[in-house]
Each structure stands twice: as structure tokens, then as C-alpha cells.
Amino acid sequence: MRVEPTAIPGLLLVHLDVHEDARGWFKENWQRRKLGDLGFPDLGPVQHNLAFNHRRGTLRGVHAEPWDKLISVVTGRVFGAYVDLRAGDGFGRVVTVEADPSLAVLVPRGVGNAYQTLEDGTSYSYLVNDHWSADATYVAVDPADPALAIPWPVPPAESVVSDKDRANPLLADVAPMPVRRPLVLGAAGQVGRALAAAFPGATLVDRDDVDLADPAAVAGLDWRDHDVVLNAAAFTAVDAAETPEGRRAAWALNATLPATLARLASEHRCTLVHFSTDYVFDGTFAGPEGHTEDEPLSPLGVYAQSKAAGDLAVGTAPRHYVLRTSWVIGEGGNFVRTMQRLAADGVSPAVVDDQVGRLTFTDELARATRHLLDSGAAYGTYHVTNGGAPTSWYDVARAVFRLAGREESDVTPTSTEAYGAGKQLAPRPLGSVLDLAKLRATGFEPEDAMAALERYVAGRT
């Protein structure tokens, strides 16, 4: 068994082992483990269809549907023609093959499938990964259109063709099938804004557009239009999460929403990217590299507990990335902007020096997200922050003051315990350093956090 790519992206030829003896033959038409080992996408079939053709020269197609299908010949032989009908530079590209039971073809969403039988009594099999729907978007083209230049063995005028297929429009009159676009949830937040910039053309949704705390409202989005879901929505008010109202909001957005997305992503074959936090750990770790992805979760407060639950829920989706990050800095209010304002106002703050981690700039987080998706990195959990030596919040504040023209000594150190005295604060992890080895193994090298900080303060993001 081997998989062969073609000139149409996503259209794959699968050469099957056919075992034959005096009785007949046997083949494994779909074998998830073997094909997966060859890099074949997990089709996730939900329906199996068969088409029987009485006569040689029967012609069916060209039909493009909004799902993937694995087609194969059960008996006989066919001349297969595949036309890319997706929006983009490849629109109208044609690939042809001659197939018998030893060849299967993965036809991706939006690629037109057509075939002509070369023998009487030919059976044709379709394994599809979505159920037929009258509401789905279909594209069909006249198989005899000269613009396609398909070299049919039997001229279409002499073929057995349905009236419906003969009436299909010419390629020039067809509207291409729209490509599936990423969906960004929480698009108005710091991470969401960076993702919107990194994924131009994505559909942007925020809590003002859809009640993301309502599973029914989330399920009501048009999921057929999206292949990647980027969930940047979260309740991030760490201290407010300790209140009764905040607790409900934190669990709704940080746990229930990810669970809903995992179910919907599984149902609609989407890749789910979920952004998490160092808070899922209690801040203790054995070595200088920090928390690893497979370390047991040990959340301290309500916010942390709800985020840990979200991580576990997202892990149930077959195609998922959980990206844990820390100390996020982007467009909008954040620690660095606060320190810049204090420096400009002549304030000399006390900043905690016993919480240690790395800054994560949202443009770097978006760049890493794009890298993991584009490179086809293995699904799972990744830690994503900027690189360089770990620092404390006190170190960051001193650097911001220096970059703003103030003396670093204008910032004084304090402990987490002293800073929280008399305040109703949620517990914070003291050790927030995340190990980046797994991310680096994919070929991604994070930008140094202090270099990024200098660029950010100077307004060069």
C-alpha cells in the first residue's frame, strides 16, 4: 500500500494491495492505521455508497461536494477525471487516471469527481465523511465541456449520461466552491486581534456577536464554512473568578465553551486550536527548563481550575492543539502598558520579584500557531512563549522603565505575599516558566522576550 500525491492539492491516489487466487481477490479498501502511517488524513467516514453501472461507456459527473470521499472500483475498470472546483489559482485543473480495484482515490472537498466505465457491470464505491444534506453547497460541471479537455475513452455524445449531468453548466459559468476559512473566537481580545492579523480572511466572532457562554448559540454558527477554529475566548479576570458570579463566568467560557468546541470540531472535522495558560500548574517544577506538556495539572484557583478543565475537554477532539502560554502582552491593556503609563506619570511602583516566567507577545503566539498548522505538526499540547532567559515581573518592570527613560531603581521589589497583604487575590503560580523543547522540535525558534519587549515599547510591533 502506498499513497501518491497529484497535481491537485489534496487529491491522493492510494495504491492498494489486491490478494488474488483461484477463488477471486481480496483487498483492504480502507485501513486507518496503515494509511495513517503513510501520512494519509483520517477520513472519519460516516456513510458508504455504491454505484452499479450496467454498460461500458457510462459517464457520471463532474460533481464537487462539501465533504471528502474515498472512491474505489469494486468490479470492472473506470477512467476517472477530477477537476479542482475550489476558489483559488488551481480552479479548473484536471487530473485523470485509469482505475481498477487496485487503486483508490481520495477526493477532497470541492474537487469534482467524474468517471466513465471501461467495462460492463462496473461497481464504484464511495466512502464519505459527512451525511448528504440539501442545504450543502454543491458544484457541478458539464463533463463534455471542451474547456476541461478530458480525453474520455468513449466520446460523451456516445456515452450513457443522465439528463441532469448533460444539463450541468460549463466551467466558465460555474461559481467556485468557497474555501473553508478559519474561525477566530474571542476576536476582540489581545490574542484574538493578533490571530486576525495572522489569518487574513478568517471569520471573526466575539461575545458581542455570539453568546459564547451559550452552547446552543455556539452550535448555531455555520460550521461547514470552517476548517480551523482558533479559540481565544476566555474569562481572564483571575481575581474576579473567585467570586460567585465570576466563578460561573469562568467555568462557562474556560471549560464549557472548550467542551462544546471539541464536540463540534469532532462532528465537523475541524482542527481546534485552544489557547491555555501556565496557571494550570501550581508553579513548582524540578528543573530549570520549566513545566513540560505532559506534567500533571495542578491548578490553584478557580480561573486555573476552569482552564485546566478546558485543556482536558479540548483533548477529546481528534484534531486539536492546546497552546499553553504565559504573561501575554499584545494590543490593549497589559502589564507592560501599565508600567509605561506609570513611568510617564512619575510613579515609582513596587513589583513582585518572586514570580518567574517569560513574556509572550501575541504576534509571536500567532506566528507559532500559524507554524504548527502550516507545518502539519503532530496534534497535541504545546508550550508557546517568547524565548530567552526567564525573568521576574520586577525584571520586566525595570526594563520597561529603562526603555521609557526612567531609572531602573525607580522600581522596587516586593514579594507576592507582601503585595497581596490585605487584598482578596487569587493564588498565583510562582514558577511560570514553560519548557519550549517540544515547540522547538517542530522547527520553530521563539524570539527572545527581551528583544521583543524593546520592539514593543518602541512601537515597532
Catalytic positions, written as ranges: 63, 126
89 burial type by CB count under 10 A (0-12 exposed, 13-18 middle, 19+ buried): exposed
Give yes or no for a contact between 128 and 47, defined as CB atoms under 8 angstroms apart. Answer: yes
One-character DSSP codes across 378-419: PSEEEE---BSS-EEHHHHHHHHHHHTTS-GGGSEEE-HHHH
C-alpha cell at 457: 515599547
Q: Is 91 helix (H, G, I), strand (E, B) or coil?
A: coil
- How far apart are the C-alpha atoms of 173 and 437, rounded to whole Å? 51
Q: Is 143 helix (H, G, I), strand (E, B) or coil?
A: coil
Nearest to 79 by CA among 64, 95, 99, 62: 99
CA distances from 280 to 32, 67, 179, 360, 434 (A): 34, 37, 36, 16, 11
Q: Is 137 helix (H, G, I), strand (E, B) or coil?
A: coil
Helix (H) or strand (E) holding 17: none
Bond into 62 cis (ω within 30): yes
Burial 30-60 (b: 16+ CB within 10 A, else e): bbeeebeeeebbebbbeeeeeeebeebbbbb
Strand blocks (E) in 67-216:
69-75, 78-84, 94-99, 103-107, 111-117, 122-128, 139-140, 181-185, 203-205
131 burial type by CB count under 10 A (0-12 exposed, 13-18 middle, 19+ buried): exposed
